Chains A and B, each alone.
Chain A
Amino acid sequence: MFLRQVLRATSRKEFSRLGTRVGRRRLFGSVPPPISPATQRWAYPSSAANVGHDEVSKLASQSLHPLSLSDLVKHGRPPLSAGSLFDSANFSSRLLPVRLAHRIQALRNLPFIVVSNPHISRIYNNYLHSLSTLLPYAERPIKTLEEEIRFTEIMADLVGTHSNTIPILARGFLECRKYISPSEVKRFLDEHLRARIGTRLIAEQHIALHYSSRLHGDPNVLPQKDESSSYIGVIDTALRPEKIIRNCESFVSEICELKYGVRPSLVINGEVDTTFTHVPVHMEYIITELLKNAFRATVEHGNEREPVEVTIAAAPAELLGKGNNQVWTTTDENSMHRELGVDAGSAATASSSSASAGNIQPLPLDHSTPCVTIRIRDRGGGIPPETLPNIWSYSFTTVSEDEPQGSGNPANSGTVGALQTISNAGPGSSLAGLGYGLPLGRAYAEYFGGGIALQSLWGWGTDVYLSLRGVGRIP
């Protein structure tokens, strides 16, 4: 029993490392972003930054621009010209203050006693600080390379400052649990998490474009146009789901063998060769979480001889040829999102608004499969019916039930239990493996209009359906 727990703890650490590893690798390429001393000093300011109340209210009253994948690729393929890079910077500097102001507003609307908590107030101050660093750029557009470099540093500061927001918030909410209901916490975290995905993506995209354009480096090194690269910033325009699945498989298999000594095999069928445009790190995160669940369940159910079956489906191309992108922007779909109560600013469907407003010419569809559905089917025995209602809550991992940290009460595995897990993770940890897998994976999938659905066959296995939307046209 003890050995089992140790093994679990080990693999848990392994799992949590993945998120960081994958994230860094893709986001920053080979060039790590410079962290200036200023960043470190300013990471956790002790007092509110210099931002007026009016300023926040004014910004927060502006509606959020629904971010789409086509927004993020509209500046063209890197290396970008200085002009395009400035466009990208200005696009980011226009969107981010409004987004931060919305988060500040949401924090301000929490009960006073909650925001007085040191953890929550730290996050609140982080947001105020980040907003104060961005405000100067909201007033005047970026026109020179020097300004752009400083702006990129601010972006890096933003990404760094907020990387631990969720565990810190979780600890804060845990300490405040007497004063705020679990459902309120869940609502706040749900919204926060989704908003955060977009905010970080905007910042990371600009940072990635900055480095892949290399306008500032050694003047002797000319930026070379790498025609073979399908990347635009953090977005891969020829993302091959099969490749991601195989990568994630080998990672998860290692952990699985380390922990159990066996692993199930994985077969991929369906449209194996399909490619589409998406954010690889998002997809890696989701697939890793899903495969971890599938592998673990299969082995623990004693079924490692039964392969995990992954089926890739791509929406037929002729569907997309029939209009510009009417397929994505039907009113039904938009209303569906409203019904789901997803933050309008974060759950952007791949809308046509930016395309028509921007300078993209509708091109013939290179990768005409903007909707990919991936089914992961395992023989791991399914999910117990009594567990099923909890699978999308932050708190929940089926694994943690017999582990000591859950305060030994399985009935207690509500939001509080989850928060406990998260906040125990301490600073520097990633969210992976801490009970966030499914809900965070779903947030990522839903971000660009996709989703995750799960069907449990208790006593047999589980089918998970991941759908992701791409973008039809790439400049």
Chain B
Amino acid sequence: MCSEPSPPWRPASALDEWVQREARPISLRQLTFFGRTLTENRLLSVANYVRTELPTRIAHRLRDMQTLPYVVVTNPNMLHVYEQYNKAFEKLRRVPEIRTIADNDRYCDVIHQTLEEHLTVIPRLAMGMLECHDLMGADRIDKFMNTLLRSRISRRVIAEQHLALTETFNSPWKHPDAHTNTESQNDFVGEVFLRCNAKEVVERCGKMATELAKQAYGEDLPVPEIRIQGHLGATFPYILGHLEYIVGELLRNSIQAVTERRRNHSPPPPIDVLICEAPQHVIIRISDQGGGISRDVLPSLWSFAKGAHSQTRLQNLHKVPKMAATMQELKVPDSERCDRDKNGNFKTRGKRQPDKSLSSLTSRSPTLRLGMGLPMSRVYAEYWAGSLEVHSLEGYGVDAFLQISKLGNKNEQLTTRASMDAV
């Protein structure tokens, strides 16, 4: 650790200039709007929006990091993240205006490469923050992490959305009449899945979490049944990867708690999922009988830095960067990403992992406890103007409430997003 180099000095003026600019928030509605009536001009204007927006948002986070105590930024993990951000900033701010489709394709390659390089950010950041928790105070760390993660989500959303729109634009069936390309043909508009079905998402995530649990605990061990009731037809537009991550984390927690509490009993009590649809939102309630959360854990439940098991969490986090590489290769064949040329193959589209950094987290083994599933999930939920609450019945079980705003119906999402981006 002592041999670790200190951060190189860079002139601050370039960054200063970008920090002057405000982020221009965009709503999910706008994202889909562009996708539905895609023309060359529209695509190029989106490209240029992304071109100026990414370095602006990165600049704000860089300045954030620069204001952290020196001792924190020189932590090897933090330094890694800082350098990643700097590298991305330097690369993205130099991209000249995008005037042609060819320009755009080159730009997409840059974005794609940057997204790949940043896959290690979350685990490294989490490790750095755990290592620094006594250097700058847990509350400040949590605030920093929340802002940073939120901004990271926003950048990845607009970047991935642009990649997806470019894909759509280049797809063979899109041309010549772009205007008939509506959801009847494809439920995706770019990254936005227009008709997320809550029940299907819960079922899919439940299946995956159950399989993972069986891998970890053995096939013979009875895993709790997942029962779904309520408004089973509820649909809403959402980014599927985000929803699957949150629901997956919640179900994983529940299955784990129930299974570990009742190792010798069979059958274990079921996990009850309720889907409740209202005009403005959908609530997914997940109730388990896994024994609840004890009082001494409760205060640090939503914190990235607080909590009792920080050492174990650190060790577990060390395993994630490696996993991120291997799981990626397993899940997403390289060919799919690299062959993303003008005649992209859309057969694999439905299976594409929208946010690859999430998929490595989603598919990790249940024994690998990182202690950030809940705070991360909350950041994701709040990002799209939703919320995540947990109520513990100590000695009995936990109820988790995920509230999702039905973004497609609401205009005020823009302002909500604006205020959140301004954080």
What is A's interface to B at a CB cutoff of 8 Å?
270-271, 311-316, 319, 327, 330, 332-333, 336, 369, 371, 373, 375, 382, 385, 453, 455, 457-460, 463, 465, 467
Contact = CB atoms under 8 A, between A and B. Distances in A.
Contact of A315 (B294, B299, B401): B294
A385 B280 contact: yes
B292 interface: yes
Contacts of B386: none
Contact of B397 (A313, A315, A316, A371): A313
Nearest to A459: B278
Given A327-B296, A455-B401, A460-B230, A316 B291 contact: yes
24 contacts: A270-B396, A271-B395, A311-B393, A312-B396, A313-B395, A313-B396, A316-B395, A319-B294, A327-B296, A332-B299, A336-B299, A371-B394, A373-B292, A382-B278, A455-B285, A457-B274, A457-B401, A458-B276, A459-B276, A459-B277, A460-B230, A460-B274, A460-B276, A465-B393
Contacts of B341: none
Interface in B281-307: 281, 283, 285, 291-292, 294-296, 299-300
Nearest to B297: A332
B74 interface: no
For the complex of A and B, list the 5 residue pairs with the smallest distance between their C-beta atoms, beginning with the closest.
A313-B396, A313-B393, A332-B299, A460-B276, A457-B276
Contacts of A319: 294
B299 A314 contact: no
A333 B299 CA distance: 8
Contacts of A453: 391
A313 B278 CA distance: 30
Given A314-B396, A382-B276, A457-B401, 8 more contacts: A271-B396, A313-B396, A319-B294, A373-B396, A457-B285, A458-B278, A459-B231, A463-B399
A56 B398 CA distance: 48
A457 B283 contact: yes
User: Which of B276, B389, B401 has most A Cβ within 10 Å?
Assistant: B276
Contacts of A458: 276, 278, 281, 283
B392 interface: yes
A292 to B, nearest CB: 21
Nearest to B397: A313
A315 B395 contact: yes
Contacts of B285: 455, 457, 463
Interface in B385-415: 389, 391-397, 399, 401
Given A327-B295, A457-B283, A458-B278, A314 B391 contact: no
Contacts of A460: 230-231, 274, 276, 283
Nearest to A453: B391
A457 B391 CA distance: 14
Contacts of A330: 295-296, 299
A146 B186 CA distance: 89
User: Which of A330, A333, A336, A460 has most B Cβ within 10 Å?
Assistant: A460
B381 to A, nearest CB: 14
A465 B395 CA distance: 14
B295 A270 contact: no
Contacts of B296: 327, 330, 332
Contacts of B280: 385
Contacts of A332: 296, 299-300
Given A271-B396, A373-B396, A460-B276, A455 B295 contact: no
A263 B277 CA distance: 26
B276 A373 contact: no
Contact of A311 (B276, B389, B396): B396
Interface in B233-288: 274, 276-278, 280-281, 283, 285
A465 B291 CA distance: 15
Contacts of A467: 394
A313 B395 CA distance: 6
A467 B393 CA distance: 8
User: Which of A332, A385, A457, A467 has most B Cβ within 10 Å?
Assistant: A457
Nearest to B396: A313
Size class of the contact patch on chain B: 20 to 34
A463 B292 CA distance: 16
Given A336-B299, A385-B280, A455-B399, A315 B394 contact: yes
B393 A455 contact: no
Contacts of B294: 315, 319
A465 B392 CA distance: 9
Contacts of B291: 316
A354 B277 CA distance: 50
A313 B274 contact: no
B296 to A, nearest CB: 6
B299 A313 contact: no
A270 B391 contact: no
Nearest to A332: B299
A229 B396 CA distance: 29
A314 B399 contact: no
Contacts of A271: 395-396
A373 B401 contact: no
Nearest to B275: A460
Contacts of A311: 393, 396
A375 B281 CA distance: 24
B282 to A, nearest CB: 10
Contacts of B278: 382, 385, 458-459
Contacts of B299: 330, 332-333, 336
A267 B295 CA distance: 27
Given A319-B294, A385-B280, A457-B283, A314 B274 contact: no
A273 to B, nearest CB: 13
Contacts of B276: 382, 457-460
Interface string B346-380: 00000000000000000000000000000000000
B303 to A, nearest CB: 11
Contacts of A457: 274, 276, 283, 285, 401
A465 B391 contact: yes
A464 B281 CA distance: 20
B251 to A, nearest CB: 18
A333 B298 CA distance: 9
B283 A270 contact: no
A271 B291 CA distance: 12
B2 to A, nearest CB: 34
A11 to B, nearest CB: 29
User: Which of B230, B300, B393 has most A Cβ within 10 Å?
Assistant: B393
User: Which of B281, B285, B395, B396 has most A Cβ within 10 Å?
Assistant: B395
Contacts of B300: 332
B262 to A, nearest CB: 14
A106 B172 CA distance: 75
B175 to A, nearest CB: 43
A467 B391 CA distance: 11
Contacts of B231: 459-460
A467 to B, nearest CB: 8
A459 B276 CA distance: 7
Contact of A455 (B277, B292, B389, B394): B389
A102 B393 CA distance: 36
Contacts of B281: 385, 458
A375 B395 CA distance: 12
B283 A373 contact: no
A234 to B, nearest CB: 26
A399 B385 CA distance: 30
B391 A455 contact: yes
A385 B395 CA distance: 31
Contacts of B274: 457, 460
B391 A315 contact: no
Contacts of A373: 292, 392-396
A453 B281 CA distance: 20
Contacts of A333: 295, 299
Nearest to B284: A457
